[in-house]
Amino acid sequence: AQSVTQLDSHVSVSEGTPVLLRCNYSSSYSPSLFWYVQHPNKGLQLLLKYTSAATLVKGINGFEAEFKKSETSFHLTKPSAHMSDAAEYFCVVTLSGNTGKLIFGQGTTLQVKP
Amino acid sequence: GAGVSQTPSNKVTEKGKYVELRCDPISGHTALYWYRQSLGQGPEFLIYFQGTGAADDSGLPNDRFFAVRPEGSVSTLKIQRTERGDSAVYLCASSHSGNEQFFGPGTRLTVL
């Protein structure tokens, strides 16, 4: 079975400093991994996805994530936080090539302080 | 160029009542998904349609929950005999041929 664990429920950074949101996954098969962002009162938006191509994945708004099979991790990073990055972030796994269900982590709330 | 829409945006009902939640996917998207997001949790998968048929309904919690997509476009999630534990945000997503899932804004269901 597939699952994801987001290691921090809440992360607080100052504007202009780096962001690190941690995610570990469990999968019996080759997984596809995603990061979604959810701003208040808005729908979930895809930030980036890994589907067994390059292990370093670049997404929108300057975010990127690195797939590390040996560590079963898929941490999300951004070099410099912006106030508009404050939101809920979800790490998500699904079976590679599967067109079905996404399995979400519990979410990490990112707070950005001025 | 409209995205996924869901109606109503908010629904308040009493315990024991029947509710229907509607999802209008992006035009041309063959796949449609329902998820449920409880407060402080990540979304949980309920059911997935490919065209008119339910390809995976393993996430439906019990037989009070049912969903249909009769013409392969709009879908309705139906909940019978609602319980307070059904209170959550119900999210719908659609995709084209298994690519990125695009999510709607959700329906917030409150069961009193």
Q: What is the pLDDT of residues A46-70, one digit of tens each?
A: 999 998 778 899 999 999 999 999 9
Is-cis flag, bond preceding A114, omega within 30? Answer: no
Q: What is the DSSP letter of B98?
A: T
Alpha-carbon gap: B30 to the closest alpha carbon of chain A (Å): 11
Shortest CB distance from B56 goes to which of A90, A101, A103?
A101
pLDDT tens readout for residues A59-108: 999 999 999 999 999 999 999 999 999 999 999 998 755 667 899 999 99
Shortest Cα distance, chain B CAs vs residue A26, angstroms: 16
How far is B36 from B87, CA to CA, in rounded Å?
9
Residue A60: φ, ψ to 5°: -80, 160
Q: Could A100 and B48 be called an inter-chain contact, meaning their C-beta atoms sit closer than 8 Å?
A: yes
Please tell me the distance from the alpha carbon of residue B53 to that of residue B70, in angstroms, as a whole number.
Answer: 8
Answer for the pair A85, A19: CB distance below 8 angstroms, yes or no.
Answer: yes
Q: Is the CB of residue A64 less than 8 Å from the CB of residue A57?
A: yes
pLDDT in tens, B29-86: 999 999 999 998 999 999 999 999 998 999 999 999 999 999 999 999 999 999 999 9
Q: Do A44 and B103 touch (CB under 8 A)?
A: yes
Which residues, in sequence order, are CB contacts of A12 under 8 Å at separation 6+? A110, A111, A112, A113
Residues of chain B in contact with residue A49, where contact means CB-CB under 8 angstroms, are: 100
What Å distances lie between residue B29 and A55, A87, A109, CA to CA?
Answer: 29, 28, 31
